[in-house]
Structure 1
């Protein structure tokens, strides 16, 4: 920090009480920001500042893992901080990373790496150091590792995969006759088969066959669009296959307009509707698993249904990233990488929340195989469908928000699939034409 320069023999001003308190508070804030004496010097321990966006069930598991980490690392002054999920976190992350001193390691969604400044705000991961802890491409789900690699450099250490799956109420589906000999929901291979299953389940519930979050319709849309082989180019002139997009949107329309699914069901109502027996099936993210388990519900899970071929589901991955530093700090980087490796190796605890660990020795181990129903959809993570690449795309990004606001009208009947597609194309092109803030 620069000291205030003095000129000639001018004496220092006398601080009043308020000015003195303000100066003290400013000094305290500066120390917290990293301009004061390093905590490492004061405590004799290596400081490790970690930022994350995990609350609820995920937050509880993260705390559990952090407590275990602390016990095994008495020489680390571990300082985790949890912030509000979504845009608030990513705004704070970008500001903190730009400052260069806010954290030593942080959690991101893999889909946001490019948009948040790989090489500008994010530093490449030292793969040689990571390999010393037993983490290499050979020990990570290959498609996830590749997604974390940009121009030949690894910019993130993947922790998990989370994706759209198909939940089923076991007693309801058994009565409906849609379980196989192993007690799992039957697989489907086209639209008609899926609608037939939904209709059979609806006969039992008396209300609906399936429920999905209509306010976040991007996730099922992207799952269906990718099953059809659809591509989306978000650079220059928008590139989209209209026919495939319309087919995916018409599927969502039929689901609600035929009375097989509610026309309106937001993020909180969707698992509640499934839990209360309003519908016997649910298309949602695997992160709803803890809520249903805590409720004592008898349910199963399988990959997102293969309506148009493969059982491909939209999803993302949580990962650990390192900031670009103003000044090199090899000790802090070493501690951060070791922390990430420890979290990966102990991620069977994390799997309790429904996420599929990226570290394959965990997913291939006996302890994970005994996790039910998690083990029934783990193979779906090998081909998770990430959002298209752009600074405005990915988890909690503007493309998802715009698509959700537009596509929800397809469920309610407020707009036709064609009108929704036209609006989405205009919104996407506006984002393409907007300069990235990073």
Structure 2
């Protein structure tokens, strides 16, 4: 109970409220959108928290549908004072949520109470939850895309380095040589990509723009200056891979995973959240030797698109959170952040730096190998138009699928994208 008393005491001293340290158990209503492998791990963390705080705090958790349904429900619920006490939230959606007025600020007092702060997070991750100098969420992780690879097939093709990683990762020419060698060795698809889903491919395309120091938004202008050219460059590379048979065509998300796990694709670009899939299959003896690394440098320098799962506190209209409830919520956020090594087994990179600096994390593979990309991460433009399932995603994804599959020229796609974005 020591942690609870310390938190309560700090809150009482900071606010000047008179309350007793002895009180009834607080129930914290929790919403998340976590399913699959990471959902299993979050449920375990919640169970562990409840066991460690028995009689003090209990998390009452509900998992809702990911994406637009989740965010729509949060918005409508907060408007009538029926949102949860705490919820998971994508960092990319925070600017819109702040504009809608549905998030409470995580105040300097809150950070002090939790014993967390700016120095505990990567600069890009901290910035992603900051709007106009205020923080509106606590980062739990970063979840970028990475390159998965089949060590057996790469070794057979002679493109597995002595370090156990793919050869040719430092240039477009080198990586394309690796893809071609895999094709020449008889591999059906050297690279599996989600080419039937423009929303997903936004992650890869934005990463390649970032490798050129490209920006989607400069001030309030979309694709200003030479940024349209940088987008065209990214699309041209990916279309070229498709035309040469180096990348899978019109492949949806489940099919991409299936191509890789069946050995039909030697490599795959996908999110770190697929690590549990690979880990579990290998434990069952159903998968080859595999690894995952940061994306290859196709242009000027490393850059990878990422988003963050965060913890946010809804601004429930007409409802004021008691000091005791807020202390309980902050304890939930702080405890799970500090115990996020288990969360790392879902493939995510914990945002709380002491966890990723630990010996246990550094021994965790492939996580430790690709976690270096945190110094090369780029997040969505900070605008209410961006974010998971947001308007920018929708406009751009419309043109990505035909372009990547060779049915539309990159220059034409960029022109249409720019017009569509300007209409926003």
**TM-score, with structure 2 as normaliser:** 0.88
* Cα separation, 1, equivalents of 2:294 and 2:383: 26
Alignment equivalent of 2:47, drawn from 67, 90, 101: 67
Q: How does 1:194-205 map to 2 (within 5 A)?
A: 194-205=175-186
Whether the 8 Å CA contact 1:100–1:323 is kept in 2: the answer is: no
* Cα separation, 1, equivalents of 2:99 and 2:51: 33
Larger RCO (CA within 8 A; separation ≥ 6): 2
Whether the 8 Å CA contact 1:189–1:309 is kept in 2: the answer is: no
Q: How far did residue 399 of structure 1 move?
A: 1.8
SS of corresponding position for 2:159: coil
Q: Which has the higher Rg, Structure 1 or Structure 2?
A: 1
Q: How far did residue 83 of structure 1 move?
A: 0.3
Alignment equivalent of 1:124, drawn from 78, 98, 105: 105
* Cα separation, 2, equivalents of 1:186 and 1:97: 50
Q: How far did residue 222 of structure 1 move?
A: 0.4
SS of corresponding position for 2:178: helix
1:310 aligns with 2:301: yes
Q: How far did residue 130 of structure 1 move?
A: 2.7
Alignment equivalent of 1:319, drawn from 297, 310, 315: 310
Whether the 8 Å CA contact 1:289–1:353 is kept in 2: the answer is: yes
* Cα separation, 2, equivalents of 1:330 and 1:239: 46
Match of 1:222 in 2: 206
Instruction: Select between 349-358 and 186-195 the one with higher mean Cα deviation.
Output: 186-195
In structure 1, stretches of 5+ residues that fail to align are 1-42, 432-438
Computed over aligned residues only, the root mean square deviation of the Cα atoms, in angstroms, reads: 1.7
Regions of 4+ moved over 3 Å: 234-237
SS of corresponding position for 1:295: helix
Q: How far did residue 46 of structure 1 move?
A: 1.0
* Cα separation, 1, equivalents of 2:132 and 2:385: 20
* Cα separation, 2, equivalents of 1:292 and 1:404: 28
* Cα separation, 1, equivalents of 2:383 and 2:117: 27
Q: How far did residue 382 of structure 1 move?
A: 2.8
* Cα separation, 2, equivalents of 1:89 and 1:282: 28
* Cα separation, 2, equivalents of 1:243 and 1:425: 11
Match of 1:166 in 2: 147
Q: How far did residue 117 of structure 1 move?
A: 2.0
SS of corresponding position for 1:165: strand
* Cα separation, 2, equivalents of 1:334 and 1:375: 33
Match of 1:277 in 2: 263
In structure 2, stretches of 5+ residues that fail to align are 1-22
* Cα separation, 2, equivalents of 1:163 and 1:384: 8
Quick one: structure 1 residues 236 and 370, their matched pair in 2 at CA, closer, same or farther if it must change by over 3 Å? closer
Alignment equivalent of 1:246, drawn from 232, 256, 264: 232
Q: How far did residue 188 of structure 1 move?
A: 2.4
